Structure 1
Amino acid sequence: MNKYEIRVIVLSSTILGVFFFALLFNVFSRKIDVPTCIPYDASFQKAEVRKVDDDYYEVYVTARMWNYDPGEIVVPPGSTVDFYLTSADVVHGFNIERKGVNLMAVPGAVNKTTVKFDEYGEYRIVCHEYCGVGHQNMMGKVLVTNSAL
């Protein structure tokens, strides 16, 4: 090998090492969850909020032009929520403010993430991928209140 090939291999290995370090640092040190992509199957029949336990919910969200179904999710404080996300038409974004959730809603695929809501309040959900003319109106919300389901 000549010296330029060796330099490229060393540089590529260094960049790959930095990438893996950043990924592992964010997962373990900053407690940022990496979303799971699960195969689309018949269990995702309709958009709904399922109460599994007193403080555990499963929310099946379908993104479509230009809304989320369900558009409003109500849970009590201290709840752990599993979000299952898919799209009915085009690629959409799914960002929950103040929670670090940033998912892609892709037709034919289901993304999953788990979020704990400890504080009362309203957490807006916005689409961060341009999905058409009405994109700016595509919003939803998670309400954390005692008057939950």
Structure 2
Amino acid sequence: MHIHAYEKLWLALSIVLILALIGTVTYGAVGPGVAMVADTQPTVDATALDEDERFSEPRVEQVGEDEYEVYVVARQFGFQPDPIVVPANSTVTFQVTSADVIHGFEVAGTNANAMAVPGEVSEITVETDDPDEYGIVCNEYCGAGHHGMEGKFNVVSQSEFESGGDDE
């Protein structure tokens, strides 16, 4: 049986494309920097967040020199605290959970993106640079008011942060 040269070429290209697809899917599933919701964080009772020491009062907390933890609660249809204010040139770790349904937590314009799942705690760490203002959006459909679920993440100067945001 004789196979034409063009048929051999197309057959070879098809096999290469299939192998490339399998390779990219495999890399995407096990590649560096890819992580799902970590099971290292203790779970929370989504119906009793007011009794959890981390999430009873959503807040920004200084945990070291230029290191801050932000405890965020997503609920239909907003984020707490809002706005989130941190100083420039710091490391910020977001601890995010949900009080009701699955929400998204995305700091627009950055690579900070996580799911807020009731009972689970998602952790994201970002480095802040110069003062700027970012939007926080929910990128998981969470109900009728989803389109209006947004917040603010403000990176301010150290002096403005220490004065409580009065330097304008």
Same fold (TM over 0.5): yes
Structure 1 residue aligned with 2:42: 39
Equivalent residues of 2:103, 2:116 under 8 A apart: yes
Amino acid at match of 2:138: C
Q: Unpaired segments of 5 or more residues in structure 2? A: 1-17, 45-51, 163-168
State, as a whole percentage, how many aligned pairs show the same letter: 42
TM-score (norm 2): 0.69
More strand by share: 1
Output the CA distance in 2 between the equivalents of 1:78 and 1:35.
Answer: 27
Output the CA distance in 1 between the equivalents of 2:146 and 2:27.
Answer: 35
Greater Rg over alpha carbons, structure? 2
Equivalent residues of 2:55, 2:73 under 8 A apart: no
Output the CA distance in 1 between the equivalents of 2:126 and 2:117.
Answer: 20
Output the CA distance in 2 between the equivalents of 1:43 and 1:93.
Answer: 23
Higher relative contact order (CA 8 A, sep 6+): 1
Q: Report the CA distance between 1:113 and its aligned residue.
A: 1.0
Equivalent residues of 1:50, 1:57 under 8 A apart: yes
Structure 2 residue aligned with 1:140: 151
What secondary structure does 1:86 align onto?
strand
Q: Report the CA distance between 1:67 and its aligned residue.
A: 0.5
Equivalent residues of 1:35, 1:113 under 8 A apart: no
Structure 2 residue aligned with 1:71: 82
Deviations 1:1-39 (A, max 9, x none): xxxxxxxxxx79x72x43343466663xxxxx7465223
Q: Report the CA distance between 1:49 and its aligned residue.
A: 1.1
Q: Unpaired segments of 5 or more residues in structure 1? A: 1-10, 28-32
1:60 aligns with 2:71: yes
Q: Report the CA distance between 1:61 and its aligned residue.
A: 0.4
- What is the Cα-based RMSD across aligned positions, in Å? 2.3
Output the CA distance in 2 between the equivalents of 1:94 and 1:71.
Answer: 13
| Corresponding residue pairs, total | 132
Call closer, same or farther: CA 1:122–1:26 in 2, change over 3 Å: farther
